[in-house]
Amino acid sequence: MIICDGCCCGRVEKGHNEVPIDKLEAAWEANRLGEAVKLTISDCLGPCSMHNVSILKNESGNIWLGELSSWDHYEAIVEWAIKSSEKMEGSKLPKILEDRRFVRVGESVVRLKDLV
């Protein structure tokens, strides 16, 4: 799990929503996720056009998320991490995050919801 806190992500002065780093770290600790699902706060992950970007890593690869705008989005990430750490069948991406998924194509991004 990688959370961007770089040049654009979380920068309210640029019109983006805050990235709730303290709340995420507290949730990780409260749920004893530790190394089971490592939380990494990173500098710029790009692509900045999506702002508030995160990468969920699982056995199938990386799931890119962007335009995370509320605690509900981050809370869903915590829920995903808990289920993933317990190796539960329900560790699929929470529904609230589905429309936040995108893929990188070179320097561009394609929202998965636009492909349907």
User: How confident is the model over 88-110, as pLDDT tens digits?
Assistant: 655 689 999 999 999 988 778 88
Output Rg (C-alpha) for the chain, integer angstroms. Answer: 14
At residue 84, does pLDDT exceed 80? yes
Provide the residue range defining the domain that includes 100: 2-114
**Number of structural domains the chain divides into:** 1
pTM value? 0.90
Kindly report the average pLDDT of the chain as a whole number. Answer: 90
Q: Is the dihedral of CA 38, 39, 42, 45 positive or negative?
A: positive
What pLDDT is stored for residue 88 in this prediction? 66
* Residues 42-46, mean pLDDT to the nearest whole number: 93
Q: What percent of the chain has a predicted confidence (pLDDT) above 70?
A: 95
